[in-house]
A and B are shown apart, each in its own frame.
Chain A
Amino acid sequence: MSQDPNHRRSPGRSPGSQSRPPRGEAQLRGPFLLCFGSAILWLLLASVLGLIASLKLQVPSFLNSECLTFGHVVAAQKNIFIYGWASNALFAVNLWLLSQLGRFELRNGWLATLGGLVWNAALAYGVVQIFAGNMNGFNLLEMPREVGPVLIAAFLLVGFWPIVAFARRPTEHSFASQWFVVGASFVFPIVYALTQLLVLWCPAFGPVQALAHSWFIQNLMLLWLGASGLAAIYYFIPKVLGRPLHGYYLATVAFWTYFLFAGATAPSSLLGSPIPVWVQSVGVVASIMMVIPIIITAINFHGTLSQRGGWAQAWNSTTLRFVAFGAVSFTLAGLLSTVFSTRGLNAAVRFTEFTQGQEQLLTYAFLTMVIFGAAYFILPRLTGALWPSAKLIHLHFWTTALAVIGSVAVALVHGYQSGHQLLNPAVTMTQVGSASLAFAGSIFAVLFLIGHLAFALNAFSMIFSSSAPTASEAQSD
């Protein structure tokens, strides 16, 4: 397929855009490139840290220093990936999506730029503090607590513009992408602020703290990252294929059920812990009811792609190839978490790599791939340039796709097996681990790093080569 002339053309096929006023576009360019550029830098840092962490699993004495312990590296890597890469990139993509769909002209774009700068500065401070050992014991809340309010303030400056764009849309009707982005933009600041309060600032007593934390994780994963990713898929599939979504009238149901149930799935990750059993049961029920939005989005996405050679078109378009990969991954991730939130299966796979595999399926195979696809669509339109190298695009797709398929598959299969071994009293603890697993992890980490380097090289050379002429263009307007 790589020699397909159609595909060869596609990476660079997209300079310029619809009849949008260039002034609004110029306003959008600054905040977008700031957020997306810093997102790419954070992604590179995260993949280097991921490589270091996987090497430490093989050679524990590797980079043996007080600040680069395994715990510090892994915590920093996760925070950088979620807040540095995914959130930054979503600021940019969400803003762009809603500006497009609502025909919104960004004014006072410096506010968004300021927000982006504050967000990244606070994150950098938090990561340094993690390496200094000044961290909290809660997953994705490791950064010291003074970072929290700053991140919320920065989010209100940079992440709230999609809501402004939605409120100012000229038309009555709205599109599914807009609902999901608006929902996601409301969820993050509220959930993050409440969790900061309940976990770090005025800690609730024991079990409630754990419950609040798991609620935060589920909301962050499904309603901030997940809903934003869904919005992008809802936009790019009909946009690139040039035809309406299959069964679109169901999308409303998908939206409401998704937002209704996703927030309540949290206790299903706390089965068997000392929280009242009815709370756990509510979590299980919500996790299983999540199958409703998953089925509907599957009908919307895969139904559209299955009509009239949609899959072939998706394969030949750089953007859609990534986005369709993400759409399939979302369906898989949803079905997996539904099936494995039932009490019997959950007892087997909890505390194993299986949950890491599920998380990677959601945050990487779904969300990150969709963001990549969005970048391949948006960046040429925004910079007015072409992607410099089609080879690097191929390299990017194949390395990241293979690495994520491999590492998710290994985590799921091994997690499932070791979960059953752990339940078997005849198997001792030392028999459960496996050294070859750490080796595979390092290979995948190297592949991720190569893919991200290729993407960064391509993106930055495009951004920098185009910045001078486009800036003068905007002024001459």
Chain B
Amino acid sequence: MNDRNRQPDRNRPRQGSPGHPSDGLTDGRLVELHSQLSRDKDEPAQGFSLTPIFIVFLFCGFGFWAGLYLTRNSGQFSPGVFDLDAPKAVADNGPKVFEPDAAKGEKLFLVNCAACHQPTGLGVPGAFPPLAGSPWVAGADERIIKAVLAGLAGEIEIKGIKYNGNMPNVGVALKDAQIANIATYVRSAWGNSAEPVMDTKVAEVRKAIGARGQYAPKELLEAHPLEAK
């Protein structure tokens, strides 16, 4: 064993024959060579390929995906969300309560109703009845909801003036909350003052009347007579 211990250093690197399997690198050379490699990256040496570009695109792709995944699967970073499949309402800390919003209703009114009833709510004399001060829109909210949902066709008398109305069922394409907002706006604008309308009420009425044609004004009055002022 003693002889073996004193064996000459066969691992000492020989000069001039790089690449021989038994050669190896000295540690100083190892560090030096590699630090040179990382410094001279602008000067393509042998073995340089297109890998950098491929890698840059790949890693950018991963970064993009990571951002997308995080925003989509993080429950708005809320500390109270523990499950991906939790209903959205829970994410906003409790179920969402509808609040009638006349400002939103005004915007919807301008888009959906103002063409006939005019932004002033006064209508067009002889053609379209006014909403301002009209007893039809005040009082029981079923009346205005039904009119918006199904429309009206036939003779209608408002503030002593007769109109031959033909109102389309504009409400069919609108959501419950949207109709509630419009009705709330109409019932509070231009000097009108009636209770706001809830989206649950709209849903209830929509379910009750089903898909039907326009109401005759008389029919609507029978169900919901005009309240005395």
Contact = CB atoms under 8 A, between A and B. Distances in A.
Contact of A386 (B4, B63, B86): B4
Task: Identify which of A174, A239, A343 gathers the most chain B CB atoms within 10 Å of its CB.
Answer: A239
Interface stretch (B18-26, B145-153, B164-172): B18-26
Nearest to B79: A276
A316 interface: yes
Nearest to B91: A277
A22 interface: no
Nearest to B77: A278
A203 interface: no
B27 interface: yes
B15 interface: no
B17 to A, nearest CB: 10
B70 A239 contact: no
Contacts of A175: 30-31, 34-35
Nearest to A171: B31
Interface stretch (B5-13, B101-109, B205-213, B218-226): B5-13
B195 to A, nearest CB: 41
Contacts of A420: none
Given A242-B20, A246-B47, A249-B38, A174 B31 contact: yes
A18 B24 CA distance: 11
B5 A466 contact: yes
A14 interface: yes
B161 interface: no
Interface in B55-113: 55, 58-59, 62-63, 65-66, 69-70, 73-75, 77-84, 86
B7 A16 contact: yes
B35 to A, nearest CB: 3
* Chain B, interface residues (CB within 8 Å), range: 35 or more
Given A175-B31, A277-B74, A466-B5, A239 B62 contact: no
A252 B47 CA distance: 18
A470 B24 contact: no
Given A18-B12, A174-B31, A292-B62, A313 B55 contact: no
B30 A238 contact: yes
A259 B1 CA distance: 45
Contact of A173 (B35, B52, B78): B35
Nearest to A342: B69
B82 A299 contact: no
Contacts of A18: 12, 26-27
Contact of B70 (A100, A251, A272, A281): A281
Contact of A277 (B35, B37, B62, B75): B75
A404 interface: no
A436 B130 CA distance: 86
A103 B74 CA distance: 49
A438 interface: no
Interface string B31-58: 1111101100100000100011001001
A281 B25 contact: no
Interface in A2-23: 6, 12-18
A313 B19 CA distance: 11
A276 B34 contact: no
Interface stretch (A82-90, A180-188, A282-290, A357-365): A282-290
Contacts of A101: 27, 30-31
A245 B84 contact: no
A274 B82 contact: yes
A275 B70 contact: no
Interface in A431-477: 465-466, 469-470
A278 B75 contact: yes
B37 A249 contact: yes
A250 B11 CA distance: 30
Interface in A373-387: 381, 384-386
A103 B58 CA distance: 38
B9 A13 contact: no
B55 to A, nearest CB: 7
Contact of B19 (A242, A252, A466): A242
A210 to B, nearest CB: 13
Contacts of B83: 272, 277
A296 B41 CA distance: 16
A204 interface: no
B82 A103 contact: no
B38 A248 contact: yes
Interface string B184-219: 000000000000000000000000000000000000
A316 B77 CA distance: 54
A13 B22 contact: yes
A235 B27 CA distance: 9
Contacts of A240: 24
A60 B101 CA distance: 71
A180 B74 CA distance: 32
Contact of A291 (B2, B37, B47, B62): B62
Contacts of A239: 24-25, 27, 30
15 contacts: A13-B11, A15-B4, A15-B5, A16-B9, A103-B27, A175-B31, A239-B24, A242-B21, A248-B38, A249-B41, A250-B52, A251-B38, A278-B73, A292-B62, A470-B5
Interface of B: 1-2, 4-5, 7-13, 18-28, 30-35, 37-38, 41, 47, 51-52, 55, 58-59, 62-63, 65-66, 69-70, 73-75, 77-84, 86
| 5 residue pairs, one from A and one from B, having the closest CB atoms | A173-B35, A16-B9, A278-B74, A242-B23, A249-B41
